[in-house]
Structure 1
Amino acid sequence: MIAVAGGKGGSGKTTTTVGLARAFSRRGAPVVAADADWDLPNLVELADETGEPVATPESTRETSDPRDASTVLGVARGERTLRVDRSAPVVLGAPGRPRERDAATVFADLDDVVPADTPLLLDCPAGASPDVAAPLRAADRCVLVTPLHRPALRDAVKTAAIARRLGCPPLGVVVTRSRSVPDAVSELFGCPVLGQIPTKSPVPLEDAAVEAAYDVVAAEIVETYGDDRWRIA
């Protein structure tokens, strides 16, 4: 399980979660991406708006809350059958009543349900809020996301420190809205820069240059971490 974490809101975490999920899928991997930002969930919406409709789990029995259909909670509790394949990532939304759920338990149960050879990405809350602790505790490693703005870098460094304290060391940094990255960024975070994502608006994920940049990041992650863990074609 890999947590996609960062500093301030708007740094590009959700875009990176979707971009990486699709990049892994293009490499032939079955992929699951789950929204761990339950107060401000937008992972499913972004995925739907920027590509083919997302793959969703199938119901195995009636859910206790219809709003939990095709969500991280529905899959974690066994109410939805997770059918992952290589054609498109499965994207899971936030639960219907997030404050009634123990996030740590849900993420642990989700990790048990998703096959071990399948990349599982968690789109984390922004910053160093208490809510970010649950996905960081559950994940094995994290990917940090930040633009090259001083406040965003400062907050992302705080998030990196929290991740390390929670046993979720960073695999590296994805720098968003940038054409080049100074060497000092790697030194600042104490981990490699996995890649930089160019500025393309208003819909970055529909741009070929952005897609190619996420392919580079995915290749780096597979080479350094996932090659002997995941089912990559």
Structure 2
Amino acid sequence: MAGGKGGSGKTTTTLGLARALSRRGAPVVAADADWDLPNLARLASATGADRESAADAPTVLDAVRGEREISPDRRAPTVLSPPDAPADADARRALGALSAAVPDDSPTLVDCPAGASPDAAAPLRAADRSLLVTPLRRAALRDAAKTAALARRLDCAPIGVVAVRAESVPAGVSDLLGCQVLGRVPRAEPEPLSDSSVRAAYDDLARRLADAHGAERWRVA
């Protein structure tokens, strides 16, 4: 999950899509690769039905070192936090080893750092596909295009774009970013993931991704 700027909706989309895939029966893993500004586990804790503490989330290093068994099930996504001491860990190596630590039939979503920085390059090198997430503001779209270019250079070409906080999507967005619009998530405040229209948007996105890219790999209904 890649985007041009902080606040572009990547983390919310990572979690919203992960939960939507869970509702389809997939044992989903969602990993936070933004080790400088992590908030995936915090968002999951704040919006989850059981309100589990973010401090209880296993880390990416726990997974790749086998220190905590990762056995995702369909009840809710398994969320992986950054290492406790991220400066002492090799992000590229850890994220690259993540696929071997996760069951083959489990879709793994990685919440990338914003932009086209070296920090964003590590998860893009590890992933096999990228999904762009962006609001439809001019500056955000311009930055998303830079992120898309980086993803293509790293052999992680975008399979589509999700327009967030959007009531409609102009035809030119697909041309600008060089990939199809796979989803549109409406604006909803103050807690988007609790809104029925937002949930429906992520359910539709999960269906499209499962049909197009996960039918032969993921355990989905």
TM-score of the two chains, using structure 1 as the length reference: 0.91
Q: CA RMSD in A?
A: 1.5
Asked if 1:50 is matched to 2:38, the reply is no
Q: Does 1:18 align with 2:6?
A: no
Maintained 8 Å contact 1:68/1:96: no
Q: 1:149 aligns with which of 106, 127, 137?
A: 137
Tell me the equivalent position of 1:33: 30
Q: In 2, distance between residues paired with 1:171 and 1:195?
A: 12
How far off its partner does 1:146 sit?
Answer: 0.3
- The answer as to whether partners of 2:41 and 2:57 remain within 8 angstroms in 1 is no
Q: Is 1:106 aligned with 2:103?
A: no
- What SS is found at the alignment partner of 1:133? helix
Give structure 1 stretches of 5+ with no counterpart.
57-66
| 1:219 Cα deviation from its structure 2 partner | 1.0
In 1, the alpha carbon distance for the partners of 2:9 and 2:212 equals 22
Matching residue of 2:63? 75
Alignment of 1:53-132 (within 5 A): 53=50, 70-132=58-120
Change (3 A) 1:132 1:53: farther
Taking a change above 3 Å as real, the CA distance of residues 68 and 200 of structure 1, as seen in their structure-2 partners, is closer
What is the letter of the counterpart of residue 45 of structure 2?
Answer: D
Query: Structure 2 CA distance, aligned partners of 1:193 and 1:39?
Result: 29
Q: Deviations over 1:37-91 (max 9, x none)?
A: 00000000001111224789xxxxxxxxxx8971111111110011111111100
For residues 141-189 of structure 1, what are the alpha-carbon distances to aligned partners after superposition, in whole Å with 9 as ceiling and x for unaligned?
0010000001100000000000000000111000000011011111111
8 Å Cα contact 2:151-2:157 kept in structure 1: yes
| Kept in 1: contact 2:57–2:80 (CA 8 A) | no
Q: TM-score, normalised by structure 2?
A: 0.96
The equivalent residue for 2:127 is 139
For the Cα contact (< 8 Å) 1:69–1:80, is it kept in 2?
no
Which ranges of structure 2 fall in alignment gaps of 5 or more residues? Answer: none
Count of aligned pairs between the two proteins: 220
Task: Check conservation: 2:132, 2:161, Cα contact below 8 A.
Answer: yes
Counterparts of 2:117 and 2:209 in 1: how far apart (Å)?
A: 26
CA contact (8 A) 1:68 1:95 kept: no
Runs (4 or more) in structure 1 with deviation over 3 Å come to 53-56
For residues 144 and 52 of structure 2, what CA distance do their matches in structure 1 show?
A: 31
Q: 1:33 to 1:54 in 2, by over 3 A?
A: farther
CA contact (8 A) 1:104 1:134 kept: yes
The reply on whether 1:160 has 2:148 as its aligned counterpart is: yes
